[in-house]
């Protein structure tokens, strides 16, 4: 099966399995989405969703959050891991939003990636899910799946993002990114599928007998 054929099958199968693509992180505006995505780094969305209600009780907007201490925020977000760094970033980016962006989350990559704790992947999620801009955020698991499915040979998430964008039409990126996440969690997990178990892996590579060896990002 050629890459083009694999991509077409994958896109069709994922659309069949996941016709709806709800955003997995609970949020109520652009700011709460930005903070939730920041917290989700090296943490599950489910855990973030259990923590953010208490955080919003402390402060649910940039102005109020900017007046809280890092210690106050850290006490709440500690279960997410990397909490001192994340708490510091949340307070600092809130101050920047108030001082430089009139309390609003900016709608461009340059300004987003200039915020503390916001890398390209987080910015891409916000651009796609908050502002509807075509983006293909790639985390380590999407990176692994793209390798397993023969859509990239990239050794970095940056290269994988570029390769995935070439495989699929731009107007499919936002939904497809979420569908890959859903499928990876349900069928093609890091431990549950080694490239020889789930339907997509076995369809794309029916002759693969040995576990697939990933290129680390």
CB 55 within 8 A of CB 95: no
CB 39 within 8 A of CB 13: no
CB 143 within 8 A of CB 47: no
φ/ψ region of 42 (left if φ > 0, alpha if ψ in -120 to 50, else beta) reads: left
Length of the chain: 217
Q: What distance in Å separates the CA atoms of residue 80 and residue 48, rounded to the nearest whole number?
A: 7
3-state secondary structure 14-82: HHHHCCCCCCCCCCCCHHHHHHHHHHCCCCCHHHHHHHHHHHHHHCCCHHHHHCCCHHHHHHHHHHHCC
At residue 125, the 3 state secondary structure works out as helix
Q: What distance in Å separates the CA atoms of residue 49 and residue 216, rounded to the nearest whole number?
A: 29
- Residues annotated as catalytic are 121, 139
């Amino acid at each position: 099966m050629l890459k083009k054929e694999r991509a077409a099958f994958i896109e069709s199968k994922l659309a069949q399995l996941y016709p709806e693509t709800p955003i997995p992180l609970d949020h109520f505006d652009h700011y709460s989405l930005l903070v939730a995505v920041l917290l989700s780094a090296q943490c599950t969305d489910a855990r973030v969703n259990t923590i953010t209600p208490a955080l919003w009780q402390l402060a649910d907007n940039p102005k109020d959050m900017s007046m809280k201490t890092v210690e106050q925020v850290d006490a709440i977000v500690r279960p997410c891991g990397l909490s001192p760094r994340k708490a510091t970033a949340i307070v600092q980016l809130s101050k920047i939003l108030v001082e430089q962006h009139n309390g609003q989350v900016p709608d461009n990559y340059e300004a987003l990636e200039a915020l503390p704790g916001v890398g390209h992947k987080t910015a891409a999620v916000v651009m796609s899910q908050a502002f509807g801009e075509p983006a293909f955020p790639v985390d380590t698991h999407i990176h692994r799946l793209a390798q397993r499915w023969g859509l990239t040979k990239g050794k970095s998430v940056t290269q994988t993002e570029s390769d995935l964008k070439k495989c699929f039409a731009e107007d499919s990126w936002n939904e497809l990114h979420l569908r890959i996440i859903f499928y990876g969690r349900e069928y093609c997990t890091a431990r549950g599928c080694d490239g020889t178990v789930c339907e997509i892996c076995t369809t794309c590579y029916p002759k693969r007998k040995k576990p697939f060896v990933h290129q680390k990002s």
